[in-house]
Amino acid sequence: MSDLGDLYQEVILDHNKRPRNFQKPEGANRKAEGFNPLCGDQITVYLVLEGDLIKDIGFQGSGCAISKASASMMTSAVKGKTKSEGEALFDKVHKMLTGAANGDPEELGRLAALSGVCNFPARVKCASLAWHTLRAALESKQNPVSTE
């Protein structure tokens, strides 16, 4: 395996071991649930959306290492971005995961660590689950206020 491959694997293992934003953020006003039946990955993405700004984001759920690491990286990448920046990133990551484009480390930063996933078709859904769920959360209507 190349050095780059090793580095990428390290990034994924690190995010799996210590997932970032693995919690429901305070004041979350959007959420969406995602499920990948092929692997059994489950995820709930929470957003604190202020106008167009993704002010805070978190996720909960369980799944394989790839799905968890991908969710962790996704939340780190879109936190503090605008809705349209988040959607643009979704497109780039989706193209990278499906092999339609190479992961450009300059554009994608650490997300490029997921580029190897496109060689493992069964894993593509694991890696893209968090992103699809993010998009659903961005498009969802504001949740009714609950006392929970």
If binding is defined by CB under 5 A, does position 34 make contact with Zn ion?
no
If binding is defined by CB under 5 A, does position 32 make contact with Zn ion?
no
If binding is defined by CB under 5 A, does position 65 make contact with Zn ion?
no
CB 143, min distance to Zn ion, A: 27
CB 122, min distance to Zn ion, A: 8
Q: Which is nearer to Zn ion, 30 or 70 (CB)?
A: 70
3-class DSSP string for the chain: CCHHHHHHHHHHHHHHHCCCCCCCCCCCCEEEEEEECCCCEEEEEEEEEECCEEEEEEEEEECCHHHHHHHHHHHHHHCCCEHHHHHHHHHHHHHHHCCCCCCCHHHHHHHHHHHHHHHCHHHHHHHHHHHHHHHHHHHCCCCCCCCC
CB 4, min distance to Zn ion, A: 23
Interface with Zn ion (CB under 5 A), residue from 21, 44, 67, 70: 67
If binding is defined by CB under 5 A, does position 64 make contact with Zn ion?
yes
Contacts to Zn ion by CB under 5 A? 39, 41, 64, 67, 126
